[in-house]
Structure 1
Amino acid sequence: MKFKMMIIGCLSFLAVGLTQAQDGWNWPADTELEAKGREYNAAYTDYKRSEENLKAKSGLHWLLTNIPELNESIYINGVEIYAGAAKEATDPKEQRVYQDSVLLIYDLRNEIYDNESKWIANKAYYAYQFYRGDKEKVGEAADLFERVMEVNGTLGYQLVPAYFDAVYRNFAYNQAYTTEEVLAKYEKINAILEEEESAGTDVSSQKGTLEQLLVAMEIIDCDFISNVLGPKLEADAGNMKMAQQIFQYSVQYKCLNTPTFNLALEVIDTNDPTFTTSQVRGMRYMQNSEYAKAGELFEKALTLATTDEQRAEIHWDMAKVHANLGRKGQARTSALKAAELNSERTKDAHGFIGGLIMSSSNECRGGQSRVKDYSIFIAAYDAYARAGDAAGMANAKARFPSKEELFTEGFQVGESMNTGCWVGQTVTLATRD
């Protein structure tokens, strides 16, 4: 650390008379000091052009110590020279001195020129490169990235992964933050990426790095979501930001069967509903056999749907709601509408209708004509046939009227009959035997 201390100690800037040259160079009024300064300036710049950084630093050090207000270029070049010297050095202790000097030069530059916003991001990235593997100093790198956001109001999206890696390492090495603090930092910089993405920038790589680091920290699980984040949302049920965070983490970490997820979903769907939030809420009520509530939310989702595929999904969901509420005619209508909007649902829809009809034996039984009572199974057979369900067809046919029953009631095979009841279909009479 001797060299670093020498830079710090020797910079008791000389009270020499400086003259402002027209070209922006502040050469000292003392001719002897000016001559020496010009000599060192020429020497260090020659070495820099030759990429001999270890040699260039000597003349530069003299200028920084004796004529610190000479020109801002000595600080700009100084960063490059000491960073290059750090790469060239073979002694780890000497290398660390040069790395520390890079950051010190930024501080000295700021004392004279007070233009931190121009270079603070570069300083932060140098600190990250130098200190990311150092348990004692990695926190300085993280702090400098935060200083960038403080000074400039944001952080360049390209630097986001470096910043969060510094946070990750400081957390891993030093337990420097609480889980809530880590998440707050994550959300803040993830918002930067979201904004860039909305402007058309491809930030998939940066987002991927953030997610990998967050997972590697192992700080989020279902217990954390329910026991830490959940109570916060309960205390502030209108907090959309918290609700969205819980929703995102619950989906990511597969914590969907929790009251906390349900609450977050309700907050989001109430304040900023989307097709997905309303549909998922409806499905949750379906799982709990709360079919009327599920139906209300599916109807809401239908108004938010933007594609036929989404509309088909909701009509299919509504078919199940109606069926569970005993509204079989409406269930059939919804199933057929789903098939109309999405042909891939056609077989499922007709199979579903076949099942509805098969389950209607008791409610459709009039008791006056066995042929008419059994005619609904012919309708079920036709539905199963459209679905390509051989087992369903066989099951339905086994319940057709018999030849004897047709003869006794004066009907013949091939005649038409309306099933009546909610089924209300005209079928062609056939027998099971």
Structure 2
Amino acid sequence: MKKTITLLVAGLFAVTSFTTLNAQDCKTKLSLFAENAKAKNYGEAETQLNELRKDCPTISSALYAYGERIYKNKIKTGTDKKAAAEELIQLYKDRIANVPAKTKKGDILGKIGTAMVDYKIGSVKSQYDVFDQAFKEDLANFTNPKSLYQYFELYYGMYTAGNQGVQLEDLIQKFEELTEKFESESERLAKTKNELIAKKDAGTELTSKEKRKEKIADTNIKAIAIFSGNMESLVEKVSTCETLIPLFRKNFDANRSNSLWLKRAAGRLDAKGCDEDPLFVELVEAVDALEPSANSKRYLSGIYERKGDVAKAEEYLRQSLSMETDPIKKARLLYKVATKAKKRGQKGKARKYYLEAVKNNPSLGGAYLNIARLYASSVNQCGNDEFSKRAGYWKAAEMARKAGQVDPSLKSIASRTVNSYMKSAPSKSDVFSKGYKGGESIPLNCWIGGSVRVPNL
């Protein structure tokens, strides 16, 4: 009996030692593999990757992170890109299965969906389903702007195909959901940018980690601007006042107690410029009665302004601005108020609210760009002669320049706008003939007020 127990213990010890040895072997192999991957010795690294995936699939998320580099390089340099993409997709799937605690599922599913779309793998429905899983199961980590756009683009294609059961109301709902997602990502990135801007303004140099953080934020801000704009362009074809009003009217009674539906419907009509229709008023009154918000008060302000009741319009606007406490959301609200005023030709009011928007969100370059356009549209009202009128373009260029400085997504358009305004402004010879040397101040005698400084041309 004693002998049997001794053999049993010895056997258990042997198993334990073997397991420990295997774990150590896995770590050693992983270390060698990582070094090859870092050194871009991808041929040797791929062989090691295959061994590790077979023998040590749960060892570390690093296995899959470095593996991603290998397959992305294979896609870039290889001849059979689709086959390499399929290998990459399987790697992503294995990562989800083998190291779930160290995997952002929404992000990885988004990468799978994008690879499927980019390399034409699977049906439209199977591609869509991967994105839909990311959206439903891990929205917080489903953030890549391109993947979010592809998700909607596929759904739009299913709608236009007419054989997938996607109705117009489904498409509009999906659009609103993704618009809200893009907005939340924009808010998150704006907060990151503003923290870094404040640090630089205080004279503190950014660390290498912060510089990388800023670069990532800039890249994603620009991508969101592009892909959310592309999404808007797609839905614009089928989302008009003529299609939306009957659609929302049909579903209004069934959704009178659904505040989310009411807010989205009112927001869509407002965005499309359908806010003069009686349905918009009904939607706004319904949502304000059910769940008052900064937006519902803003809508009411606009309604009463159109009725000519300035006092009531201003009261609702004050309520709207006082209800929104988050600075990034408040900036968006102020931007919308300013843009409405701009469309109505209320230039002074528009500038006021654009500047307030920038105070709340210093990286909101669109506000500066719109102020630049307001200035440029007013130059003929702002001078006593041709020179002083055209000098207003310097002021417009100054605002456009600020737009590109604070918002990377606007850098290109801001640069083109600055160049255009500088061409319209007085030339070097004009400045010389007036006897200016640069630095002199020219008053702007119009709604713009203040003055503009003659640049050193």
Instruction: Measure the CA separation in 1 of the matches of 2:58 and 2:279.
Output: 60
Contact 1:243 1:264 in 2 (8 A): yes
Secondary structure of residue in 1 paired with 2:63: helix
Contact (CA 8 Å) 2:301, 2:317: kept in 1 or not? no
Task: State the 1:220 CA deviation.
Answer: 0.9
The 1:85/1:262 distance shift into structure 2, 3 A limit, reads same
Task: Label 1:90 to 1:269 Cα distance change in 2 as closer, same or farther (>3 A).
Answer: same
Q: Determine helix, strand or coil for the equivalent of 2:23.
A: coil
**Aligned mate of 1:166, from 145, 151, 171:** 151
Instruction: Note if 1:206 corresponds to 2:205.
Output: no
Q: Offset at 1:61?
A: 2.0
| Map of 2:20 onto structure 1 | 21
Offset, 1:198: 5.0
Q: Is the alpha carbon distance of 1:42 and 1:224 closer, same or farther for their aligned partners in structure 2, counting shifts above 3 Å?
A: same
Match of residue 176, structure 2, among 187, 190, 196: 187
Alignment check: 8 A CA contact 1:148 1:154 kept: no
Q: Distance in 2 between matches of 1:138 and 1:165?
A: 11
How far 1:193 sits from its partner (Å)?
3.8
Once residues 138 and 264 of structure 1 are traced to their aligned partners in structure 2, the CA distance between those partners, rounded to angstroms, is 36
Q: Is the 8 A contact 2:146 2:223 kept in 1?
A: no
After superposition, what is the alpha-carbon deviation per residue over 1:236-291, rounded to whole angstroms, capped at 9, x for unaligned? 3243333332333223333344332232233245453766433443366x5xxxxx
Q: What corresponds to 2:283 in structure 1?
A: 264
1:203-282 matches, cutoff 5 A? 206-207=224-225, 209-217=227-235, 218-271=237-290, 272=292, 276-282=298-304
Closer, same or farther: CA 219–197 of 1 in aligned 2, 3 Å:
same
Structure 1 position 115 matched with structure 2 position 137: no
Q: By how many angstroms is 1:89 displaced?
A: 0.8
Looking at structure 2, the residues matched to 105 and 205 of structure 1 have their Cα atoms a distance apart, in angstroms, of 26
Q: How does 1:377-392 map to 2 (within 5 A)?
A: none
Provide runs of 4+ in structure 1 moved above 6 Å. 40-43
Which of residues 141, 148, 151 in structure 1 aligns to 2:134?
148
Whether the 8 Å CA contact 2:106–2:141 is kept in 1: the answer is no
Per-residue CA shift, 1:192-247, capped at 9, x if unaligned? Answer: 34445556437576255324313224221223212222221233324333333233
Secondary structure of 1:115 counterpart: helix
Structure 1 residue 168 displacement after superposition: 0.6
Q: Quick one: distance in 2 between partners of 1:83 and 1:89? A: 10
8 Å CA contact 2:262, 2:287 repeated in 1: yes
* In structure 2, C-alpha distance between the alignment counterparts of 1:133 and 1:224, rounded to whole Å: 35
Offset at residue 60 of structure 1 (A): 2.4
Structure 1: which amino acid aligns with 2:117?
Answer: Y
Q: Which AA in structure 2 matches 1:21?
A: T
Correspondence for 1:101 among 82, 87, 91: 87
Q: In structure 1, what is the equivalent of residue 75 of structure 2?
A: 86
Label 1:101 to 1:205 Cα distance change in 2 as closer, same or farther (>3 A). closer
Cα distance in 1 for residues equivalent to 2:98 and 2:222: 40
1:128 matches 2:93: no
CA contact (8 A) 1:243 1:268 kept: yes
SS at match of 1:21: helix
1: CA distance between counterparts of 2:233 and 2:260?
21
Decide which structure has greater helix share. 2
Equivalent pairs, count: 269
Are residues 125 and 48 of structure 1, via their aligned partners in 2, closer, same or farther at CA, if it must alter by over 3 Å? same
Please tell me the residue identity of whatever aligns with 2:157: A
Distance change >3 Å, CA 89–CA 269, structure 1 → 2: same
SS at match of 2:233: helix
Between the aligned partners of 2:63 and 2:17, the Cα distance in structure 1 is 16
State, as a whole percentage, how many aligned pairs show the same letter: 13
Give yes or no for contact 1:117–1:151 (8 Å, CA) kept in 2: no
Letter in 1 for 2:228: L
Q: Quote the Cα distance in structure 1 between the aligned partners of 2:59 and 2:300.
A: 66
Q: 1:260 to 1:25 in 2, by over 3 A?
A: same
- Cα distance in 2 for residues equivalent to 1:119 and 1:133: 21
In structure 1, distance between residues paired with 2:289 and 2:19: 66
Q: Contact 1:266–1:281 (CA<8 Å) still a contact in 2?
A: no
Taking a change above 3 Å as real, the CA distance of residues 170 and 275 of structure 1, as seen in their structure-2 partners, is: closer
Helix, strand or coil at the partner of 1:220: coil
Unaligned runs of 5+ in 2: 1-14, 194-220, 320-348, 350-457
Between the aligned partners of 1:112 and 1:18, the Cα distance in structure 2 is 24
Is 1:74 matched with 2:63? yes
Partners in 2 of 1:100 and 1:113 — Cα distance?
A: 20
Whether 1:304 and 2:316 are equivalent positions in the alignment is: yes
1:255–1:261 contact (8 Å) kept in structure 2: yes
1:371-407 deviation digits (Å, cap 9, x = unpaired)? xxxxxxxxxxxxxxxxxxxxxxxxxxxxxxxxxxxxx
> Aligned with 2:140: secondary structure?
coil
Assess if the C-alpha contact under 8 Å between 1:138 and 1:166 holds in 2.
no
Q: Is the 8 A contact 1:125 1:162 kept in 2?
A: yes
- Are the counterparts in 2 of residues 190 and 207 from structure 1 also a CA contact under 8 Å? no
Deviation at 1:111, TM superposition (A): 3.4
RCO (CA 8 Å, sep 6+): is it higher in 1 or 2? 2
Q: CA deviation at 1:44?
A: 5.1
Seen in structure 2, the aligned counterparts of structure 1 residues 55 and 235 have a Cα distance that, compared at 3 Å, is: same
TM-score (norm 1): 0.50
Which amino acid in 2 is paired with 1:277?
A: Y
Contact 1:275-1:302 at 8 Å conserved across structures: no
Hey, what does 1:328 align to over in structure 2?
none
Q: Measure, in 2, the Cα distance between the counterparts of 1:132 and 1:170.
A: 16
